[in-house]
Amino acid sequence: MCVAGKSSTKRKILELGESLLQRLGYNGFSYHHIAQELGIKNAAIHYHFPTKEALGIEIVQRTRTRFTKWVNHPENRVKPVRQQFDWFINSYSYNLKSQHRVCLIGSLATDYYTLPPSMQSVINELTDEIQKWMARLLDHGRQSGVVDFQGSSQDKAVCILSSLTGSLQLARLLGDDFFYRNIKQIYLDLNFTY
């Protein structure tokens, strides 16, 4: 037992599960993958997560908690738009560098209609939260003259989030450069003043 948070094993399962989910897809990884890599048995995982669904939900909620915490942290809320934007972009670059993971949302989106409804719900909420945050950030940036672009902030946010999701996936087929080209173009099209 671990008083302050999850037991070591539980945390390891969550982290590896997240990695596998992003590397192989929800239907592409199994408890066996986890068991083998952690040197434990199938049943041990079921002790921490009774069902695969339960594991999946906690993986998503963990990501959401991380995002919400960062975004709402007083220190970060007052950061320049550029810095907040960079932080978000970097989280995608991190995925690319970590064995070419695709983003959690994209991974679950392609498997969406094979997922239990409970998982569909949590991934919806996460995505909605990110979308709204990005639209607000762009709007704020434009009003303060830091960025410039055509159209509504929401449409621009949609476009950027989509291309981040997609480029992480296509980079698997066409090479890392595909992702970095996309990033470059995104920054170019935002006309940052500094």
137's tokens = 């950030």
Closest CA to 90 of 189, 186, 191: 186
At position 4, the amino acid (one-letter code) is A
Using CB under 8 A, pick the residue from 181, 192, 193, 194 that binds its own copies. 181
Q: Which entry of DNA, its own copies, none binds 68, CB below 5 to 8 A by partner kind?
A: none
| Cβ–Cβ under 8 Å, residues 192 and 89 | no
Cα-to-chain-centroid distance, residue 121: 16
187's tokens = 């920054």
Site residues for DNA per CB under 7 A: 1-2, 7, 9-10, 29-33, 39-44, 46-48, 50-53
Q: Which entry of DNA, its own copies, none binds 127, CB below 5 to 8 A by partner kind?
A: its own copies
Q: How far apart are CA 67 and CA 130, in angstroms?
A: 8
Give the shortest CB-179-to-its own copies separation in angstroms.
8
Listed ranges 37-45, 75-83, 112-120, 139-147: which one lies at the site for its own copies (CB under 8 A): 112-120
Q: Which helix (H) or strand (E) holds 192?
A: none
Per-residue interface string for the shown chain with its own copies, residues 121-150, x marking contact by CB under 8 A: --xx--xx--x-----------------xx
Query: Is 159 a residue that touches its own copies (CB under 8 A)?
Result: yes
Backbone angles phi, psi at 169, to 5 degrees: -80, -45
At position 191, the amino acid (one-letter code) is N
Chain positions contacting its own copies, by CB under 8 A: 23-25, 27-28, 100, 102, 105-107, 109-114, 120, 123-124, 127-128, 131, 149-151, 154-156, 158-167, 169-170, 172-174, 178, 181-182, 184-186, 188-189
